[in-house]
Structure 1
Amino acid sequence: MNRHLWLGVTFVFALITGASCLRDVRLEVVPEVVQRGHEVIVRCYYDVEKRPLYSVKWYRGKHEFYRFSPSEFPPTKIFNISGIDIDLMNSNESQVTICNVDFGLSGNFSCEVTVEAPTFSTAFVSKKLTVVSLPQGRPTIVLERDRYDPGDVLNANCSLPASKPPTRISFSLNNKPVGSSMSKPRKLDNGNGGSQTDTGLQSSNLTLTIQPSHYSNGQLTLRCIAEIPGIFSSTSEVQIGTGLREPVPERVTSENGCPAGTMLSLFVVCLSLVHLLLR
């Protein structure tokens, strides 16, 4: 076997051997959806099959922020990346704990595992992190009034604290969907004939003409459902009364069908005539 063929066979064998010495390499982000200001753990699992480990590197996007190299001292190295606050006491050769996460960390996290010479085989895996800000508290429903009759126009507003991503707000009347939309920042009058955005609230409006079919046993229950699919859900409801309109009083009549007002007038006339005759 000539020298070049031998080198080629050796190289291929090294590749095959190196490829087989890295198994079950995977990445876990806990939790994958994390509340802003909380911590997240990025775990890198790997099996080097008793081969010497050269390094494990962690990345956010294209930027390396943490490295574990057992042959170096100290074995851990932190790279200064804006927005990544590492808890070194809870980070090691298989995981990195990041504190006080912010929206800028949403995106792909990766780990790169490399075994020692002669092969320096490498495996690279990724996982996505989503940083959210969930609403604090339940939705609040506001109505123009608390009683409605068929034919009346119902105007309702549902609001709750701001969130990222925005919350989807939907309405139901007696468990039947009647409206759904992405929430919008609530507008407030700024006192100068205009409006300003209240960034602390998000809301959605409902305008609906009440129909007899909307009632269930004479009752109306309006429900507001606030959702971030797969992440957050909260519901509030109000009971709406009926009979807003005051009844129109019927005309009072005497037994013989004459209006009561007419009888009173005749009585007054008779008294006047008697008074004239007695004079």
Structure 2
Amino acid sequence: MGALQKTGRNTDSGAVTKTGTQPPRWERMRSRKANHRFKPSLLLTLTFAALFHKGAVGAASGSGLKLLELRVPEKAELGESATLECKFELGGDEDNLYSVKWYKDDHEFFRYTPDDMPHIQLFPVAGVNLDESESGLSSVTLRDLTFESSGSYRCEVSTEAPDFKTVLKNRFMAVWAPPRADPAVEGLRPSYSVGDLVAGNCTSASSFPPANLTWFLNGRQLDRFSVEFFSPWPDGAGLQTARLGLRFRADTEHFRDARPAAASPSHAARELELRCVATVQEVSRQRSVRALLLAPPSLADQRPAKIEGGRGAATCTAYPGYSMWAIVIIALLLSPELLAYRGQHLLREQQIHT
């Protein structure tokens, strides 16, 4: 009849089928939504895969800008030179060096740019006296260091576009001045008796920071009750002088047997050794002083000594104590005042008799 056949019956199964018709509208809309949901999910999956692949390749090849080591001396001596080193690694062809910069206390003083002419640029900063002939891509050298050279030093390395990666590290450097001479010891005597006051000073000049002073008696450090403290004072050019006093009463326990060279032929001498040590930044200088003990005569020295003459001669016994008293009496009798008094007395007696 020319009309589109909508239905038919299967003679084998008896089921009714639709032929030549389109799906309903609501089924077509659900299919479109499913397609829209699939596309973003696929795009997101591809993005993650690309990022993962790039990270895996970078990790495998070890690429990327790295600052391997920054070497800055912790301590540098006044007036000397110091070299600061900055070791870095670009890591691959994808990173090109843009610049290497050096800072002191956040102030730039050196820049190395390989694409510029000249490659090196210098900037004035207090305390930085750069040796340009010894400075370059991976290190800088500072000369004629002053106390202003102390501070925090930073190395900063950057790559070119498009990443503009930057790595940096900081280190602190302190400038110090050791003492140029041994400490000076003043006020001590070459010998002492028991009960004498042992007093003196130890002075260490021209250092920074000021020296840490310590007194030793026979190798043992003296306690704070035997020393006298003084405040350090400046002595010009930023240097300082330190002083530590010494005060105690000499006792027998302070003395020990002297060395053979110091011993007396008649008896064994005893001595004390005083030593002052000045320390600045683990560098020490010292000065030692020795003093002998003036001991009173022992009982053995006061025993009578026999003086024997030849055969048949009488034996004479000398008593050192009595001899001393005899000398004192004779000296008094022979004194000018006593002789004058006796002369006047004799003159008066003569006048009376006449």
Q: TM-score normalized by structure 2?
A: 0.60
CA offsets 1:208-227 (integer angstroms, 9 cap, x no match): 22222222212211000000
Deviation of residue 116 (structure 1)?
Answer: 2.5
SS in 1 for 2:253: helix
Change in Cα spacing, 1:107 to 1:177, as seen in structure 2 (3 Å) is: same
Higher helix share: 2
Matched residue, 1:35: 77
AA partner of residue 81 (structure 2): E
Q: In 2, distance between residues paired with 1:183 and 1:35? A: 26
Partner of 2:89: 47
The reply on whether 1:203 has 2:230 as its aligned counterpart is no
Find the counterpart in structure 1 of residue 189 from structure 2. Answer: 145
Counterparts of 1:123 and 1:172 in 2: how far apart (Å)?
A: 52
CA-atom RMSD in angstroms? 3.8
1:127: Cα distance to partner? 1.3
Displacement after TM superposition at 1:6 (Å): 4.4
Q: Residues 57 and 68 of structure 1 are in contact (CA less than 8 Å); yes or no, is this contact kept in structure 2?
A: yes
Which structure 2 residue ranges, 5 or more long, are not aligned?
1-41, 258-269, 303-319, 334-354
C-alpha separation between the residues in 2 aligned to 1:102 and 1:17?
Answer: 45
Pick one of 158, 161, 165 that aligns with 1:121.
Answer: 165
Distance 1:164 1:179 in 2: 25
CA contact (8 A) 2:204 2:211 kept: no
Shift of the alpha carbon at 1:243?
A: 0.7
**Cα distance in 2 for residues equivalent to 1:11 and 1:111:** 32
Q: Report what 1:67 is aligned to.
A: 111
Q: 1:179, 1:206 within 8 Å by CA — same for their partners in 2?
A: no
- Structure 1 residue aligned with 2:322, among 244, 247, 252? 252
Residue 214 of structure 1 pairs with residue 254 of structure 2:
yes
Asked which structure has the greater CA Rg, the reply is: 2
- 2:218 is equivalent to residue 174 of structure 1: yes
> Which runs of no fewer than 5 residues in structure 1 stay unpaired?
187-196, 266-279
Choose between structure 1 and 2 for higher RCO, CA contacts under 8 A separated by at least 6 residues: 1
Instruction: Give CA-to-partner distance per residue, 1:245-273, whole Å, 9 cap, x none.
Output: 799x975279xxx9x969xx9xxxxxxxx
Higher strand share: 1
Cα drift, residue 149 of structure 1 = 2.1
- 1:18-46 deviation line (CA, Å, top 9, x unaligned): 995123522112x4311112111111111
Paired residue type of 1:138:
D
CA distance in 2, matches of 1:55, 1:112: 8
Q: Which runs of 4+ in 1 moved over 6 A?
A: 180-183, 244-247
Secondary structure, counterpart of 1:219 in structure 2: strand
Q: Distance in 2 between matches of 1:202 and 1:183?
A: 7
Determine if the alignment matches structure 1 residue 25 to structure 2 residue 76: no
Residue pair 2:231, 2:242 contacting (<8 A) in 1 also: yes
Q: Which amino acid aligns with 2:71?
A: E
2:133 aligned with 1:89? yes
Identity %: 27
Q: Which deviates further from its counterpart, 141-150 or 234-243? A: 141-150
Q: Which residue of the other structure, out of 280, 287, 290, is the alignment partner of 1:239?
A: 290
TM score, norm. by length of structure 1: 0.75
The 2-side partners of 1:183 and 1:17 are apart by: 63
Distance in 1 of aligned mates of 2:53 and 2:200: 71
Instruction: Tell me how far apart the structure 1 counterparts of residues 274 and 63 of structure 2 sit (CA, whole Å).
Output: 62
